[in-house]
Amino acid sequence: MSIDILQSKIRKLKTPIMVGLDPTRTLIPPELLADCEARLGVGLEALAEGYCLFCKGILDALKKTVPAVKVQSACFEALGWQGVKVMQEVLAYAKKQGYYVLLETMRSDVEHIAALTAESVFEGLDIGGERTFPYPCDGLVLTGYLGSDGVKPFLPHLQQAEEAACKNLFIVLRSSNRSAVEVQDLLSGDRVIYRAMADLAQRWNTERVGKFGYGELGAVVAAQSPLALQELRKRYDKLFFLVPGLGAQGGAVKHAAYAFDRLGHGAIVCVSRSVIGAWQESAGMDYPEAAQKAVEKLKSQLSDHIMVL
Amino acid sequence: MSIDILQSKIRKLKTPIMVGLDPTRTLIPPELLADCEARLGVGLEALAEGYCLFCKGILDALKKTVPAVKVQSACFEALGWQGVKVMQEVLAYAKKQGYYVLLETMRSDVEHIAALTAESVFEGLDIGGERTFPYPCDGLVLTGYLGSDGVKPFLPHLQQAEEAACKNLFIVLRSSNRSAVEVQDLLSGDRVIYRAMADLAQRWNTERVGKFGYGELGAVVAAQSPLALQELRKRYDKLFFLVPGLGAQGGAVKHAAYAFDRLGHGAIVCVSRSVIGAWQESAGMDYPEAAQKAVEKLKSQLSDHIMVL
C-alpha cells in the first residue's frame, strides 16, 4: 500500500517531516539565479532553471533525512509553461531520489474535469500505446468544496493491488491560514464544516488499511487548530494526517503532536519556508546546509512530543 | 470597469453566452488530430497542437456571436507543459480576437500562494524590468474553501483605474455537479454554505459598481439550483453571476434565466461540451459550423426567457 510506503520511510528515517517545495523568486539564492541568467539570459527560462536547480539542491541535501516532499503546483505554474516543465523535472527527480512525493493543486473540480487529472497524474496518458506520466508522484492534495464528484475519479487508483500504481489522495479539512475559520469553522448541525468534510473523507477512504492501521486517503489538518487535531485524530482513526502550518506560519510543534496516534504513527508534519528558506536566516551557510540544519532542529523539537518509532 | 466591458460585449452581441474551452482528446475531431500527428509525430506535442488548433477554430468561428470564453486550466495541464504552453497561446489568441477571457483554476490557496498567482496572472511578472503576462486574461475563477486569505491578493487588481489593468474574480458559490449538495447545501444557522460564501463574496466585492450596477467580483451559481439562483439574484444585487451547468450537464434554460435581473443584465450562462462538442451530434457539419449552430440554438432558447437588451 502507498500509505505504508510513506509510513515505512518515516519509521526508517525516524522523521515525520515532509518538506514543501514551494519556490518563489525571493527564496532562490541570488548567486544561483545569477548563474542561470548568465547561462540562459534574463527571462522566464532562467528563472525556471533557478527553481529547478534550487529544488534539486534541496532534494540532494535532504534525501538521507527526509522521507517525503510536497510540490506546490501554483509556484511553478506562476512562471508559465517554463515553470511547469521544471516542475515535472523536479517531481521525477524527487521520485528517483527515493522520496515519497505529493503534488498539491488545491483544486475542486466537477467529475469530468477531475477525471482528466486522475488520468494524467495517476493512470498515465496513453500516447501511441504507451503510458506517459507528466507528473510522477505518489499522491495529490485537493480541496473538496464540490463534494464526491471531484474525488470519485481518483478513488480506483487508491485501490490498485500493484504497489507502483497505488496512489494516495489528501483532502484539505482544516487549513493553516487565519481566514480558514470563515468557511471551515462554520457550524452545521452538530458539526463544523471541516468535520463534515472529514465525514466525507472517511466515506471516500479505502476499506483496506495498511500495517499501521491507515487507509489510502488522507487529510490535511493544520497545526493552528490543536482542538481540531485532537478531536479528528480520535474520531477518524483511519485517516492519515498531513499537518501544515508549522514554522513560517506560526503553528506550535506541541500542537502538531496531537495529529499522531499513541504509537507515533498516522501523521506527518509539512514545512516549507522554514526549511527551504532557512539560508536567509543563516549567515555563512549555503542553502542545502541551512535546510539540513532546519530539519534537524525541527526533528529534535518533534521528538520531545512524538514517539517516532 | 472590466465587468462593464463584459456586459457591453454581451449587449452588443445580444448574447449572454460564455463558451468554455475545455478540450479533451475525444472532443478533438480525429482528422484534425491526425494532421497534427502527421506533422509532429505521435506524442504530447501533437496532442497539445490539436487542442490549440481546435480552440483557435472555435474562437475564429464564434468571434462575431459570442462575447466571452472561459479556459479550464486542468484540461491543458493534463498534457503537461506542452498543454500549458498551448493554453497560454489560446488565451492570447482569444484576447487578440476581442473576447472577454476567463481562466478557471478552481484553486483555493493560502495567502502567499494566492499572491504568486495574482502577480503572474494579473500584475505580470517583472522579468528584467519588463512585465510579462504568461496567462493573458480578464479574470480568474476560484473556489473559496480557505476564506478571505486566498482572495485578498487579487482584490487590488479589481480596483485598478486603468481599464486594461482592471480584472475580475469569480468565486464558486454553488457548482453544477450533483454532489455539490454534500458541502455547499449544508445548513449553518439560517444560511446554507453557498449563502455564507455569497456573503463573503459580497464583502470582497468592489464598492465601485459599473453602469449596469455590478461590482468587479462575480460568482458562479449553477443552473441546476433555480431556487438558489432566485434567492441569490434578489439578495446580492451587485454580484455578477456566471451560470454553468446547461447543455451537457442538464440544467434548464428557464432556470438559468433566474440569474438575470429584470433588465436582462447581471449574468452570463456558460456552456462548453454542448457547443465545442456539437460536431459529434451533427453529421455533415465541421466543428466550427456545429459550434455556431449550437450557440444560435441556445441564444434563441435564452431569448424566450431573458430580456437581452
| CATH code, domain with B175 | 3.20.20.70
Residue B274 lies in a domain: yes
**Structure confidence at residue B226 (pLDDT):** 86
Q: Which pLDDT belongs to residue B225?
A: 81
Distance CA B70, CA B107 (A): 15
Specify the pTM: 0.97
Q: Is B308 inside a domain boundary?
A: no
Nearest CA-CA partner of B106 in B152, B74, B62: B74
**Bridge partners (DSSP) listed for residue B125:** B132
User: For the stretch A143-154, what's the b/e string if a residue is b when 16 or more beta carbons lie within 10 angstroms of its beta carbon?
Assistant: bbbbbbbbbebb
| Rounded average pLDDT over B231-252 | 89
Is the predicted pLDDT of residue A309 greater than 60, yes or no? no
The SS3 assignment for B100 reads: strand
Beta carbons within 10 angstroms of residue A229's beta carbon: 24
In a domain, A309, yes or no: no
| Rounded CA separation B15/B276 (Å) | 17
A54: in domain = yes
Q: How many Å apart are CA A143 and CA B108, to the nearest integer?
A: 7
Q: Give buried/exposed letters for B119-156 (b at 16+ CB in 10 A, else e).
A: bbbbbbbeeeeeeebbbbbbbbbbbbbbbbbbbebbbe
Q: Which residue has the cell 493534463?
A: B78
How many CB atoms sit inside 10 A of residue A308's CB?
17
A183–B200 CB contact, under 8 Å: yes
Could you identify the residue written with the cell 477512504?
Answer: A205
pLDDT at B248: 67
Burial (CB count within 10 angstroms: exposed 0-12, middle 13-18, buried 19+), residue A131: exposed
In chain B, which residues have their Cβ closer than 8 Å to the Cβ of A119? 78
* B chain contacts of residue A80, beta-carbon cutoff 8 Å: 84-85, 88, 120, 134-135
Task: Render pLDDT for A248-293 as a digit per residue (tens, 0 to 9).
Answer: 666 789 899 999 999 999 999 999 999 999 999 998 899 999 999 9
Q: Judge whether A167 lies within some domain.
A: yes
Summarised one tens digit per residue, pLDDT across range B249-301 is 667 898 999 999 999 999 999 999 999 999 999 988 999 999 999 999 999 99
Please say whether the beta carbons of B40 and B32 come within 8 A: no
> What domain count does chain B have?
1
Q: Do B183 and A24 count as a contact with CB atoms less than 8 A apart? A: no
What is the Cα–Cα distance from A280 to A289, expressed in whole angstroms?
12
Q: Is residue A21 part of a domain?
A: yes
pLDDT band, residue B194 (cuts 50/70/90): very high
Strands B217-221 and B168-174: parallel
Which of A116-120, A142-146, B21-25, B223-227 is least confident?
Answer: B223-227
ipTM over cut 0.95: yes
Contacts of A132 in chain B (CB under 8 A): 44
- The label of the residue with cell 479589481 reads B158
Nearest CB to B127 within list A43, A78, A143: A43
Q: Would residue B309 count as lying in a domain?
A: no
The answer to the question of residue A308 being in a domain is: no
State the residue range of the domain holding B285.
2-303
Question: Chain A to chain B, count of Cβ pairs less than 8 Å apart?
Answer: 211
Interface test with B, best of A76, A108, A142 (most B CBs within 10 A): A108
pLDDT of res. A308: 64
Neighbours of B220 (CB within 10 A): 25
